[in-house]
Amino acid sequence: MPKIIPFKAVRPTRDKVSLIASRSYESYTQEQLEARLRDNPFSFLHIVNPGYKYQKEIAGEARYQLVKNRYQEFKEDGVFMQEEKPCFYIYKIVNREENVFHGIVAAASVEDYEKDIIKKHEDTLAQKEIIFKEYLKTVGFNAEAVLLTYPDNNELNTIIEKVMETRAEYEFTTTYRDTHYVWGVDDKNMISKIETIFNHMDAVYIADGHHRSASSYLLAKDLQSENKNHSGKEKYNFFMTYLIPESELKIFEFNRLVKDLNGMTKEEFLIQLDTVFRIDKRGIDYYKPSKKHHFSMYLDGAFYSLYLRKDNYNFKNALEALDTYILYTSVLKPILGIEDPRHDDRIAYSHGKRDLAFVKSQVDSGEFTVGFGLVPITIDEMKHVADEGLTMPPKSTYIEPKLRSGVTIYEF
């Protein structure tokens, strides 16, 4: 049932793609950002950070208009080109850990998002949705694809493999040591087959990009109401996505760091935990949990294992069985007093690629008092939560692959 269609991407010329492609703006430190803006005039960061030209921080509608201006300048200077025919784009990434991802960049339907054919598993913040919607409305393009995942499909895999036998339009390695390959697919028969395969699936799932999806949906609703001749075929009825098979999705955990024990001593805190968990002190040896409902804790120079007591295995739905939810409802909220984990500045998150050494270093530095380690959520858990119409706690998953911005751009 999902409607997945090709589109005429705006994309870099072959010789400049490696210079243009950038990670998400938020992923750079201030020093990294300054270096890239200073040393690379073609970086897509110049578009999304237009105030650099004037050495001034610019926000709101003024920034959005400057983003549009910088983008138009890149097009006028021939840095970007417009595709002549609608295409799907086969996108392969080999990251520095030698994980390989193969997927399809395409446009997905906001109607499918509304009807839950594109399924969600995370809550979004209404204010953030509105801000990004207004940004999209002004700039008129989307340069960062929403990551969707679908059940493995042999027929689709065969098509992707066949395309990858030909010369890639793009092949470049980033300073992050990821190698990217992109092939355009404009053959009508192949396009029709890809559309049909997706149309026979029951659903696809958002892996990463819930706010981008929600904002694209809100934008479409705005533009539909303003267009007396709305037909449903307008470009604003779709948004850019990167679709990969479930087996290739890499899901990492988000560990938790908390600044204080909510007024308790270490001993009082451990006694509170004892009602919910079987606790073993592991000392200075790293303890990383390997099973569901097992947690690691680092406190006062020592690691602990926390095993959820079996009489607490009384889950009524997929959400209640998630370790991130268990930790929130049994420790973070009732014991440590963290009511809103999205906004409470007493809690911070560290994705699992940093490992528990990072958690330990943050606690040892004195910035935090206690850290918790979790096992990653699985794709099946994520799907079950989405299928039941539920939403995970914030920072439940850190998902790869991460696409570069500016490689394919969707205009509406």
Structure tokens at 405: 């911005």
Q: State the residue for tokens 């009524």.
A: 316
d(C-alpha 247, C-alpha 379), whole Å: 9
d(C-alpha 88, C-alpha 121), whole Å: 26
Residue 345 near residue 369, CB atoms below 8 Å: no
Residue 180 near residue 21, CB atoms below 8 Å: yes
Indicate the residue type of 170.
Y
Beta strand ranges found along 143-221 (DSSP E): 146-150, 170-173, 179-185, 204-208
* Element (DSSP H or E) covering residue 223: helix 210-226
Q: Which fold has domain 254-396?
A: 3.30.1760
Any idea where the domains of the chain sit in the sequence?
4-250+400-411, 254-396
- Show pLDDT as tens, one digit a residue, over the chain (412 residues): 999 999 999 999 999 999 999 998 888 989 999 999 999 999 999 999 998 888 888 889 999 999 999 999 999 999 999 999 999 999 999 999 999 999 999 999 999 999 999 999 998 888 999 999 999 999 999 999 999 999 999 999 999 999 999 999 999 999 889 999 999 999 999 999 999 999 999 999 999 999 999 999 999 999 999 999 999 999 999 999 999 999 999 999 999 999 999 999 999 999 999 999 999 999 999 999 999 999 999 999 999 999 999 999 999 999 999 999 999 999 999 999 999 998 899 999 999 988 899 999 999 999 999 999 999 999 999 999 999 999 999 999 999 999 899 999 999 9
Q: Say if residue 38 is exposed, middle or buried (CB neighbours under 10 Å; 0-12, 13-18, 19+).
A: exposed
Residue 235 near residue 412, CB atoms below 8 Å: yes
